[in-house]
Amino acid sequence: QVQLQESGPGLVKPSGTLSLTCAVSGASITDNNWWLWVRQSPEKGLEWIGEIYHSGSTNYNPSLKSRLTMLLDKSKNEFSLRLTSVTAADTAMYYCARLTGGLPDYWGQGTLVTVSS
């Protein structure tokens, strides 16, 4: 059973850095899959953030690219997201997921991140 679990601070100050980790169990992040971050807010709905392959190759949302970094930690079977210079517009529920053939088939439960002073 593939499971993903997001973790990270629930509150980030404006202009600060949002850092989240997705722990994967039941699968290896070195498998032939991409690993995805999506966020959801009432204003924007479900929004693609980006994805990372086991080689470290990445695809980022152009609107976030200048502030975004995704990394893998193969020793921990985790992948991570780092978003700098956050504003209230980055307040959302953040989900990680596995992509199989481009399809998000397994999702984490999500973690709410609020940007506020």
Partner 1 sequence: IVLTQSPGTLSLSPGERATLSCRASHSLSDSYLAWYQQKPGQAPRLLIFGASNRATGIPDRFSGSESGTDFTLTISRLEPEDFAVYYCQQYGHSPLTFGGGTKLEIK
Q: Quick one: 13 or 44, whose CB is closer to partner 1?
A: 44
* Sheet of strand 78-83, all strands in order from the earlier edge strand to the far edge: 3-7, 18-25, 78-83, 68-73
- Spatial separation of the C-alpha atoms in residues 66 and 93, rounded to whole Å: 21
Scan residues 60-99 and list those touching partner 1 (CB under 8 A): 61, 95, 99
Using alpha carbons, select from 70, 71, 69, 67 the residue that is nearest to residue 86: 67
Backbone angles phi, psi at 16, to 5 degrees: -80, -170
Q: Which of 16, 17, 48, 53 binds partner 1 (CB under 8 A)?
A: 48
Site residues for partner 1, 28-47, by CB under 8 A, read 45-47
Residue 105 found at the interface with partner 1 (CB under 8 A): yes
Q: How far apart are CA 17 and CA 39, in angstroms?
A: 16
15 or 25: CB nearest partner 1: 25
Residue 24 binding partner 1, by CB under 8 A? no
Nearer to partner 1, 43 or 116 (CB): 43
Interface positions with partner 1 (CB under 8 A): 45-48, 59, 61, 95, 99, 101-105, 107-110
